[in-house]
Amino acid sequence: MRGRALVLVAALLLQLLLLAAAGGAGAAATERKAHNYEDALRKSLLYFEAQRSGRLPHNQRVAWRDHSGLTDGLEQGVDLVGGYYDAGDHVKFGLPMAFTVTMLSWSMIEYGDDVEAAGELGHALEAIKWGTDYFIKAHTKPNELWAEVGDGDTDHYCWQRPEDMTTSRQAYKVDREQPGSDVAGETAAAMAAASIVFRKSNPHYASLLLHHAQQLFEFADRYRGKYDSSIAEVKSYYASVSGYKDELLWAALWLHRATGKAHYLDYVVDNADCFGGTGWAITEFSWDVKYAGVQILAARLLLRGEHEERHRSTLEQYRAKAEHYVCGCLGRNADGGADANVERSPGGMLYVRQWNNMQYVTNAAFLLAAYADYLGDDADGAVSCAGGETAGAGEVAALARAQVDYVLGTNPRGISYLVGYGAKYPNRVHHRAASIVPYKHSKEFIGCTQGFDHWFGRRSSNPNVLVGAIVGGPDRRDRFRDNRENYMQTEACTYNTAPMVGMFAKLNRMARQEREQEEVAAPARSTAADV
């Protein structure tokens, strides 16, 4: 008996040694694949400084940029200096700019403590305020909002630095006669969300933002209409395909979160059916199509019990549609046909469409992560998919992280689509300012055609690295061509990076916790190996 026991002990010790060795190898493999989310966070916030329009501050860190657009609004008798260029051109489009600020603010609302822990709170607040300061200027009357500066057609005929701009700076507005419920609603959402962010650090500013948000929502709701019907110049660039009803629901939810006033939630519940909030089953979320975001925000209220009993049944319908989106990303909707799930590339990237697909990837990652966190408060903690399948909160969170890691280089090409991060990233980003010698180094004027002739067609890397930009990214087969002319893949947009601010901060905290757990577990494995 004793001999048999010794054999069993020896076998057990051998098994422990093998497990310890496997654990060590696994840890080493994980370490090799680990991403520096803190570095990614720092770089993502730098990108917004590169996109600034207006008079740059003394603490501007992106030194290859200088003042630009200093006469914006002058012809119309209004000060429209400031704000952000949306991508690689120099038009200030109000709808995607507002969505960018909403997502930056949502990032801070959910993961602001993580941003602060990484030492980036100040830069994140500056990124939001650069946008909201501009929206305050653009909201010149209760029922008037300047929604665009510059003309996309003339702008695209030029390849110039923003400091040399010779293109039209015509400004366009929406008002009672020419409504724009979508752009006014999204701007209301941005200012309401930002008011939550600034409530502690700058309460006076937060109150000002909330005042503007409430006025803009009333304007958007009272004078309904699509902004691209009022501003024809925007149709070729940022047409409101989904209409304005999703923005009205979206704005109302953000105002409810900012104020706690029941009538905003009543609005979301009362209009749930006629505005499509509980009708549309969507598998994308973007600057145009907000329904998935609306549904997830509404589901949060249900999961956290922040509602009255009369709201419950409608919020449950919102949650069902929110989970359709989540399950669609997971590929778990067994019912609903081919469009019920999001396509995946061979490398695992969520694929929605050819042009700037990364916007759908980064926004999906954020929604999935946020919803997984909301589910953590639910006793069941699971998602119910069409056709009977389910998924746990952990699986939802894992998919979100996998999408972020894909962006950072865990993909078949081993390329980071966050410019400036890692050893390999796009060097020929479709971006006028980044692709031309910096104004501070060469103040010699560069005209429209001169920019095309001397800079656009160059095969060499851009002279300026657009750090923190997330480019359009690869196609459905994970193929990517780093070419300035390939704007569908190499142009970056502010709304690609905005949701990643929150994701990088969250994952940085998670990675730190994992390292701490690994440090605690290592002595235990060592002890087992020594036995």
Residue 48 near residue 466, CB atoms below 8 Å: no
CA 88 to chain centre: 17
- Evaluated on CA atoms 163, 168, 169, 174, the torsion sign reads negative
Classify 336 as helix, strand or coil: coil
Residue 430 falls in the annotated catalytic set: yes
For residue 382, the cross-strand partners are 392
Half-sphere exposure of residue 29, counting CA atoms within 13 Å on the CB side?
A: 6
Reading the block at residue 90, the tokens are: 């120099």
- C-alpha 121: how far from its chain's center? 17
The C-alpha atoms of residue 199 and residue 339 are separated, in whole angstroms, by 41
Q: From the candidates 90, 430, 431, 441, which is the catalytic residue?
A: 430
Q: Residue 380: which residues within 8 A CB-CB, separation 6 or more?
A: none
| Contact by Cβ (8 Å): 471, 419 | yes
Amino acid at 460: S
**DSSP code for 339:** G
**Separation of alpha carbons 463 and 438, rounded Å:** 8
Nearest 5°: CA angle at 11, between 7 and 12?
A: 115
**CA dist., res. 217 & res. 174, Å (int):** 13
Read off the amino acid at residue 380: D
CA distance readout (Å), 247 to 288, 324, 402, 487? 9, 20, 29, 28
Residue listed under structure tokens 């280089």: 409
The conformation of residue 462, written as its DSSP 8-state character, comes to: P
> What DSSP designation does 56 have?
P
* Token digits of residue 364: 């999906």
3-state secondary structure of 197: helix
Residues with Cβ within 8 Å of residue 62, at least 6 apart in sequence: 46, 49, 50, 467
Dist. CA 257–CA 300, nearest whole Å: 11
Gap between the Cα atoms of 367 and 110, Å rounded: 11
Provide the greatest CA pair distance for the chain: 98
Amino acid found at 158: C
Do 369 and 504 form a contact (C-beta atoms < 8 A)?
Answer: no
Q: Is 235 exposed, middle or buried (0-12, 13-18, 19+ CB in 10 A)?
A: middle
Catalytic annotation, residues: 430
